[in-house]
């Protein structure tokens, strides 16, 4: 059975402690249901854009958002198909991740089938590669030689067996996901789509191990913002010893950076528990109202003019948004109507 080779360094332990503290803060933050929904949608868009962008997809984050919302977009068919497929894979992870008891090669093949449907041939999509492949850099040089194709099925089976073991189940979930991510990429089990499947698999493992962050978490942003560091971390592993310590330091640090970003965002959007109970799930905030709420959490107050400038709308529209939030019981008006008046949390 697969056995990971790494050292639990002080750096990894420190990052895990920060991750745990940030995760607890996120889970404890009282957030209005409508804002939770917006954060989940933003995470879906962000994951999809960044993971496909790493592999060369040319659609911007704004264009991905149009596709997610079901809008029409003029773009290269392959780019749109990659985005739609990745969305399907993430929805599969979201729906079935927590209920998957055993990780199996069939689950891995399912993810690949979803991600490459209509892009690879029917023989290649959802099936392990049947020939040798090489990882080539932008200069055409071979930077990594994966195992032979006839070794792939049993290597994936071994990885799945380890993921189902008491050892893996007892690890901190982020460590297990990081270990699996590297080993999967090392095996390189498919003709194409290995990176996207590997990142989706890491997310699935976190779900399976109940590492819940309300579906706000996305690691793909971290990878895509500095692709050179991502590939350098993958290539830092010695092919003989397969010591993945340096890779794990990079991976766990990425989780720490991203989860702290989420914590900051959640703090700006959180309300006191009394207000959440008062409003409940009956009220929905618009995008402009969410921006107003974030501004109040940041600065303590907001004026009609400030919201109008922030969201690029006319004063009348901004006034209507703020007054609606006042009717909901979220904000209260301080001062008489006019330039000196402002709104703060109720």
CATH top-level class for 285-345? mainly alpha
Range of weakest confidence among 77-86, 109-118, 121-130, 274-283: 274-283
| Helix segments in the chain, DSSP class H | 10-28, 33-54, 61-68, 77-96, 105-116, 152-163, 166-170, 173-187, 194-208, 220-225, 227-235, 245-269, 273-279, 287-299, 304-311, 315-328
State the pLDDT at residue 275: 59
User: Which range has the worst mean pLDDT, 78-92, 178-192, 326-340?
Assistant: 326-340
Does residue 142 have a pLDDT over 80? no
Judged by average pLDDT, the poorest of 135-139, 235-239, 265-269, 317-321 is 135-139
Nearest alpha carbon to residue 212 among 161, 262, 281: 262
Structure tokens at 25: 């803060």
Kindly report the CATH class assigned to 10-269. Answer: mainly alpha
- Residues carrying CATH 1.10.3290.10, the chain: 10-269
Q: How far apart are CA 244 and CA 331, in angstroms?
A: 51
Length of the chain measured in residues: 346
Render pLDDT for 208-233 as a digit per residue (tens, 0 to 9).
Answer: 888 877 678 777 888 888 878 888 88
- Between CA 325 and CA 194 the distance in angstroms is 46
- Supply φ then ψ for residue 56, to 5 degrees: 105, 5
Residues 321-326 have a mean pLDDT of: 90
Q: How many CB atoms lie within 10 A of CB 20?
A: 14
Q: Are 194 and 152 in contact (CB under 8 A)?
A: no
Structural contact between residues 174 and 252, judged by C-beta atoms closer than 8 angstroms? yes
The residue behind tokens 């290539």 is: 235
Task: Report the alpha-carbon distance of residue 206 to residue 61 in Å, rounded.
Answer: 24
8 A C-beta contact, residue 97 and residue 213: no
Delimiting residues of CATH 1.10.10.10 domain(s) in the chain: 285-345
83: left (phi over 0), alpha (psi -120 to 50) or beta: alpha
Mean pLDDT of 72-84: 92
- What phi and psi, each to the nearest 5 degrees, are found at residue 332? -130, 150
Task: Give, rounded to a whole angstrom, the gap between the first and last alpha carbons of the chain.
Answer: 58
User: Considering the entire predicted model, what is its pTM?
Assistant: 0.80
Instruction: For residue 174, give the nearest of 259, 47, 54 by alpha carbon.
Output: 259
């Amino acid at each position: 059975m697969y056995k990971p080779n790494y050292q639990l360094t002080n750096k990894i332990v420190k990052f895990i402690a920060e991750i745990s503290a940030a995760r607890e803060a996120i889970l404890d933050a009282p957030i209005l249901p409508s804002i939770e929904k917006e954060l989940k949608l933003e995470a879906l868009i962000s994951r999809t854009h960044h993971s496909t962008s790493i592999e060369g997809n040319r659609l911007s984050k704004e264009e991905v958002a149009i596709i997610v919302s079901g809008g029409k977009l003029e773009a290269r068919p392959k780019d749109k198909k990659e985005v739609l497929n990745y969305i399907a894979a993430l929805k599969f992870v979201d729906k079935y991740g927590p209920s998957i008891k055993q990780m199996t090669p069939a689950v891995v093949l399912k993810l690949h089938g979803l991600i490459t449907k209509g892009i690879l041939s029917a023989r290649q999509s959802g099936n392990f590669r049947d020939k040798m492949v090489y990882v080539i850099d932008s200069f055409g040089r071979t930077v990594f030689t994966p195992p032979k194709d006839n070794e792939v099925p049993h290597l994936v089976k071994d990885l799945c067996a380890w993921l189902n073991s008491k050892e893996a189940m007892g690890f901190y979930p982020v460590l297990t996901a990081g270990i699996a991510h590297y080993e999967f990429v090392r095996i390189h089990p498919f003709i194409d789509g290995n990176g996207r499947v590997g990142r989706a698999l890491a997310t699935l493992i976190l779900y399976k191990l109940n590492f819940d962050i309300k579906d706000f978490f996305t690691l793909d942003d971290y990878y895509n913002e500095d692709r050179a560091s991502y590939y350098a971390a993958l290539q830092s592993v010695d092919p003989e010893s397969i010591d993945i310590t340096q890779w794990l330091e990079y991976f766990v640090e990425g989780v720490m950076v991203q989860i702290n970003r989420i914590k900051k965002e959640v703090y700006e959007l959180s309300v006191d528990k009394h207000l959440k109970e008062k409003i409940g799930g009956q009220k929905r905030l618009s995008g402009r109202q969410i921006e107003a709420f974030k501004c109040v959490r940041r600065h303590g107050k907001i004026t009609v003019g400030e919201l109008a400038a922030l969201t690029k709308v006319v004063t009348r529209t901004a006034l209507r948004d703020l007054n609606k939030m006042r009717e909901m019981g979220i904000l209260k008006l301080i001062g008489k109507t006019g330039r000196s008046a402002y709104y703060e949390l109720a």
